[in-house]
Chains A and B, each alone.
Chain A
Amino acid sequence: MKYIDEFREGGMARKIAARIAAEVDARRRYHFMEFCGGHTHAISRYGLVDMLPDNVQMIHGPGCPVCVLPVGRVENAIQLAQTPELILCTYGDMLRIPTANGMSLLRAKAQGADVRMVYSSEDAIKIAQQNPQQQVVFFAIGFETTTPPTAIAIKKAQALGLHNFSVFCNHVLTPSAISHILQSPEVREFGVVSLDGFIGPAHVSVVIGSQPYQYFAEEFQKPVVIAGFEPLDVLQAILMLIRQINAGRAKVENEFTRAVLPQGNIKAQLLVAEVFELRRSFEWRGLGLVPYSALKIKSCYAEYDAEQRFPVPALSIADNKACECGAILRGIKQPQDCKIFGTVCTPENPIGSCMVSSEGACAAYYSYGRFRNRDLCTVQNN
């Protein structure tokens, strides 16, 4: 696969790793957060941590839209799906997410709700066209990457004069979440966690560009390197971050130049701005309420807003007390620090957000790196 395989080449990875080892300053530690689940996935899938020097630590950020969606919203979606004469469409990612009482969209479907998996927002439109007698709600989730397709669906529904299509909008914004993490007291004041730099999102940045990160570099003096999701991209970004830190710089750099322009995709941005507006505040699972971190459908498109058309009560469902997701997402704790990691909380039965999808920090640790943690245990036991 052209433009994929070249960026997964193992020999080159070892060379970049050797370069990283040669350039790190042995006297200090480096703490980098990869915001996106895509990077987390690459790191665990390719075993990149094994290739990094001991003083380079990766912190897994909240960059998985499935994981950060509060349980209350999933519950809302399930209630919508259980409404008679209503078809709920959503991406495959959402179907298995459990709520507090063990329900999920898949389970609701088994009990008779009409839940359809779609690959694209356009499929949801098609379903609405094919079922004019029924209401079709598209349960939309995702970061800036996934928002433009939802905007297109709404515009298309309008153009087609579809009156049975609406969107349950849960789109969230990456920069607000990064700010939130940087502003959390642990990171900002107490110096409990040092966060030395960020690997910036790949495909989110394709849409929003590299400019929005400028603020972090300036305001918080943290270097940001936007990187693709392939393993070589991630290693290269780590090298670029190390170089910035060693040189005392805090700039936004772009490793993913093959897809990210400074201004991003303006056509997509305009479309999003036309259909959506900011929510004052939105709950992120694991982070709590984050100001101006999500989008809602503008009132001029209210007809397509499921929250306007159907009762969608605000449900705040707290996560299990033992869950350490909030601390993990801020880099204060590691998944193994959670008392119920791998015992009560597993991918089969996720208790907290980080275990929900395979990109979550806990799930990635569990499914790709479980043995390593166990090995540690055995060593300690000996």
Chain B
Amino acid sequence: MCLAIPAYVEQLITGDQAIVNLCGVRKEISLVLVEDIVVGDYIIIHAGYALQKLDQREAERTLAMFAEITTLNNNDIS
């Protein structure tokens, strides 16, 4: 299923590597497949490689879409 998780970029180190932090668990991963990563980004990690930068704005938008559903449900009830 291609296990991959978003993790916080804590530190950039040499050789296209970065240290990510997921709730206090730190791991060194490779940035070879992505570009323009800065500290503070979230990246999607699979098998030790970052596959993509997580778009934080889009994530918020998806969550907002969920929230909209609440409103729709409420409208149904009323």
Give yes or no for direct A-B contact (beta carbon below 8 Å).
yes
A interface with B by C-beta (< 8 Å): 1-4, 6, 12, 15-16, 18-19, 22, 36-41, 63-65, 91, 119-123, 142-143, 145-146, 148-149, 152, 201-204, 206-207, 229, 232-233, 236, 239, 255, 257-261, 265, 267-268, 271, 359
Given contacts A2-B8, A149-B33, A359-B1, 4 further A-B contacts (CB under 8 A): A6-B63, A120-B49, A145-B46, A257-B58
Complex A-B, nearest 7 residue pairs according to Cβ-Cβ distance, in ascending order? A120-B48, A38-B1, A37-B1, A145-B2, A258-B59, A257-B58, A203-B2
Number of interface residues of B (CB under 8 A): 37
A217 to chain B, nearest CB (A): 21
CB atoms of B30 and A19 under 8 A apart:
no
Tell me if A259 and B69 are in contact (CB < 8 A): no
Q: Please name all residues of chain A whose beta carbon is closer than 8 Å to the beta carbon of B5 when the two chains form the complex.
A: 1, 4
A146 touching B47, Cβ below 8 Å? yes
Please, how many angstroms separate the alpha-carbon atoms of A277 and B1 in the complex? 23
Query: What CA separation (Å) do A22 and B61 show in the bound complex?
Result: 23
A38 in contact with B65 given A120-B49, A257-B58 (CB within 8 Å): no
Chain B residues, Cβ within 8 Å of A257 = 55, 58, 61-62
Tell me, in angstroms, the Cα distance from A1 to B30 when the chains sit together. Answer: 21
CB distance B46 to A203 under 8 Å? yes
Which residues of the other chain, B, contact A207 by a CB distance below 8 angstroms? Answer: 51
Q: Would you call A16 and B33 a contact (CB within 8 A)? A: no
Residue from the list A1, A40, A122, A265 in contact with B1, Cβ < 8 A: A40
Contact A148-B49, Cβ < 8 Å, known A265-B33, A268-B33: yes
* A15 → B minimal CB distance (Å): 5
Interface residues of B in 39-54 (CB under 8 A from A): 42, 44, 46-49, 51-52, 54
Which of B32, B46, B47, B65 counts the most chain A CB atoms within 10 A? B47
| Residue from the list B22, B32, B65 in contact with A1, Cβ < 8 A | B22
Q: Please tell me if the beta carbons of B54 and A259 are within 8 angstroms of each other in the complex.
A: yes
